[in-house]
Structure 1
């Protein structure tokens, strides 16, 4: 696998007749077909005055056209995939903030983004799906000349995404062709991807995890990405049986939903073996990792990623390397270190902020000198995560710095409490969060989903936690929920959860 520095170069390495984009019940699109599609798309965009560096917002349902349009449009312009579930005012914020030159929507699919674009004077370009998975044509726009036509170069921006701002205004993260192809190559090497591999994608394609780990890394390995309409626990096993992927990648909440339906799908699991399963974008509880590995008879590779790193930073290795439950693995691409508040790199075994640098890391947030001054120290990007390296060089995260619960003078890592509660036999899922407290500042709370048919009381869970945790870490309040609130990408939302659930001290 040679290192490509543009998406077009990455596609050029794929074997012409091999499938690149697949989808249930559709003929597949080969590498030759995808390369031709990229050239046609860049030509069509250039003809309506859109070229390198111009931003194209993409609002499409999850599926093969979304994956193919991201790849093809990025070959000659800057892609800005947006969540199709956004409301009118959200589209208004993002289209304005991005200074979008065009909006791509699917013909016949209604979206509030259309009316917003019309109001803002952003040209709407319609995508017409073709017969093969991911094949499409673009129609619409006004004829014009692109300032920078042709295929993108290594330092052109391929993709812009907004950070999921919890409280502050979301920041724009520009990722160049060098950034995204470096990351796709890192993931392909970590997972030893080959042209024989096919990834079943259940991740949303407006999120870095689905775009880079599932789509671009598959193409970097010369294999295929199988594009589903998005995560659906009821359909997952049917897709597994029909499509026979060699792997899938998902967030922990999805893996847990897949596990809950495993027992009744044993036959499918037996006849559709996976080479490995990947988990990223949030901490996978150790118990879930063990259960997945046992049920599927495949190694579970937990990886650590974030948008600013074009996704992957660390990963557990494939066998014969060890997969450590609850630990995000070895550096897998960028350099990774631990830094103190003063900017000193700390020795192995010390706890501090996780920092990274390397070709997959963004050069900085757009038009945000204040955020960049905070984010970069001596060329290292500060991730906002706290952690330490163990004796084998594996990174263990102890929590998001802004999610650590500060109770009196003590600090509580929500991840540690999640881990203990998840080990209880009746618990399917646990999420620890802070509850505002007038005296202590913050108090520890936990939201719990019980396993089907199991019962447990708040008292029992607190007693169980007290056997494994120091008293100040034991949740003072446990709420039982049918489901824990999630964000658009399937991430559990710790910050503001007490308020959402109406819990006060």
Structure 2
């Protein structure tokens, strides 16, 4: 089988009559239909002067049209999906930073992006949904000739995303067709995806996890992606029952919300069995992994991904391989190694920075030589994560280097403290964070969400932590919350949490 290095080649492998994109209460779009849609979209973009390398910002609600437009537009231009929840000034920043040549919005949908684009002189293309899930036509633009018409090649950029910077200006990550198809293929192989698989997508489709793991990996396996309006805990089990997916992928906060409702939906779980469940984009507490696996009677595969790697880097394997709670798994795509500050690769068991290289890894941030000089060492990309390989070759993360809490002369891994606190029977969620301290630099704090109907005091939690952790790692402040603040993609917000909650040491 020839190597797949473009989105068009990836789509070409699916059986013509098999469903590619599904959605509740809509007829599915077949692979033949998706290929036709992609070819028609490239032709209509070329006719208004947009071709390979030209950036098309996409602001659409989560659903089949968002998935289909990403795949179709990437075939002949560069996609730039944006969060529909952005405000006016955020859209202005991103459209200018991207140098967007067009903006795609749903016909009749209200979004501030439309007004911003008109103000900036960016053509607005209206997406008109068709009958089948994901089918659409684009209306708008003025006739013109594309500088680089036709289907995209392996080195053309398929997707640009911004890093989610905490304070610094977000960096642009260009991902080529080679990058995204390599990653989709890696995920499809890791999960043994085939034509009979269907992923229930609850992830936002402006995020690498939803775009590559749920959508493109499903298509790489010849299966279907079932596009929902997004994550809704109240609808999840009804969708599971109606759509009968073989798997779903989500972030830990979503899994924990699903887990809280699993017992009362045991009949649906039995009626709609899953082959496996995938978790990525943040650390899944070990207890949650065990409970989720027991509730669904299915293996839970924790994986490790980031935007610069077109998502997946490591994954726990399917059975008969072992799924290790709290560990992100075996290298599953790129080469993965551990490096010290000086650029020396370290042996198994040594702790250092996780570095990667391979066809799915971006060649560098756009127009940012300073960031690239820091990010790449001897051809390896520095992930910013600290970790080590265990005796079986599984990668264990010990924390984000910039999230490590530096207390006096000691370093505290928030992930380690999260794990200990999450093991307490009354704790549903735990997030450890640094609190600025005038003498020590930082002090250890923890935000806790309790299980329904359970109670525990701050003192009891600190005593529990003290049984398992050195004294300097035990949280000095514990706050109880109904919900831990999350970012747009469902990730818990560790950096800056003390300031957000108004906590001082």
| TM bracket (short chain) | over 0.9
Q: Who is 2:447 aligned against? A: 447
1:298 aligns with 2:298: yes
What are the ranges of 5 or more consecutive residues in structure 2 without an aligned counterpart? none
After superposition, residues 284-323 of structure 1 pair within 5 angstroms as 284-323=284-323
SS in 2 for 1:402: coil
After superposition, residues 119-158 of structure 1 pair within 5 angstroms as 119-158=119-158
2 CA distance for matches of 1:269 and 1:317?
22
Q: Who is 1:255 aligned against? A: 255
1 CA distance for matches of 2:498 and 2:381?
31
Q: Who is 1:365 aligned against? A: 365
Q: Who is 1:473 aligned against? A: 473
SS in 2 for 1:293: helix
- Asked if 2 retains the 8 angstrom alpha-carbon contact of 1:3 and 1:182, the reply is no
Report the alpha carbon displacement of residue 3 of structure 1 after superposing the two structures with TM.
3.3
Q: Who is 1:39 aligned against? A: 39
1:83 aligns with 2:83: yes
Q: Who is 2:430 aligned against? A: 430
2 CA distance for matches of 1:152 and 1:259?
42
2 CA distance for matches of 1:429 and 1:27?
39
SS in 1 for 2:28: strand
- Asked if 2 retains the 8 angstrom alpha-carbon contact of 1:3 and 1:185, the reply is no
Q: Who is 1:70 aligned against? A: 70
1:316-372 Cα offsets, whole Å, 9 max, x none, are: 000000000000000000000000000000000000000000000000000000000
1:55 aligns with 2:55: yes
SS in 2 for 1:105: strand
Q: Who is 2:4 aligned against? A: 4
2 CA distance for matches of 1:101 and 1:40?
19
Query: So what's the TM-score if we normalise by structure 2?
Result: 1.00
2 CA distance for matches of 1:320 and 1:106?
45
Q: C-alpha root-mean-square deviation of aligned residues, in Å?
A: 0.5
> How many residue pairs are counted as aligned between the two chains?
505
1 CA distance for matches of 2:168 and 2:474?
30
Report the alpha carbon displacement of residue 4 of structure 1 after superposing the two structures with TM.
1.0
Report the alpha carbon displacement of residue 2 of structure 1 after superposing the two structures with TM.
5.2
1 CA distance for matches of 2:267 and 2:324?
28
Structure 1 residue runs of 4 or more that deviate by more than 6 Å after TM superposition: none
Q: Who is 2:356 aligned against? A: 356
1:96 aligns with 2:96: yes
SS in 2 for 1:403: coil
2 CA distance for matches of 1:455 and 1:3?
56
After superposition, residues 402-441 of structure 1 pair within 5 angstroms as 402-441=402-441
Q: Who is 2:196 aligned against? A: 196
After superposition, residues 215-234 of structure 1 pair within 5 angstroms as 215-234=215-234
2 CA distance for matches of 1:380 and 1:263?
45
SS in 2 for 1:50: coil
2 CA distance for matches of 1:272 and 1:5?
35
1:461 aligns with 2:461: yes
- Asked if 2 retains the 8 angstrom alpha-carbon contact of 1:309 and 1:361, the reply is yes
Report the alpha carbon displacement of residue 7 of structure 1 after superposing the two structures with TM.
0.2
1 CA distance for matches of 2:191 and 2:132?
28
1:189-234 Cα offsets, whole Å, 9 max, x none, are: 0000000000000000000000000000000000000000000000
What are the ranges of 5 or more consecutive residues in structure 1 without an aligned counterpart? none
- Asked if 2 retains the 8 angstrom alpha-carbon contact of 1:48 and 1:146, the reply is yes
After superposition, residues 261-300 of structure 1 pair within 5 angstroms as 261-300=261-300
SS in 2 for 1:442: strand
2 CA distance for matches of 1:367 and 1:73?
24
2 CA distance for matches of 1:427 and 1:349?
31
Report the alpha carbon displacement of residue 263 of structure 1 after superposing the two structures with TM.
1.1
1 CA distance for matches of 2:23 and 2:53?
30
2 CA distance for matches of 1:298 and 1:205?
25
SS in 1 for 2:283: coil
2 CA distance for matches of 1:308 and 1:391?
27
2 CA distance for matches of 1:74 and 1:465?
49
2 CA distance for matches of 1:354 and 1:386?
6
Q: Who is 1:326 aligned against? A: 326
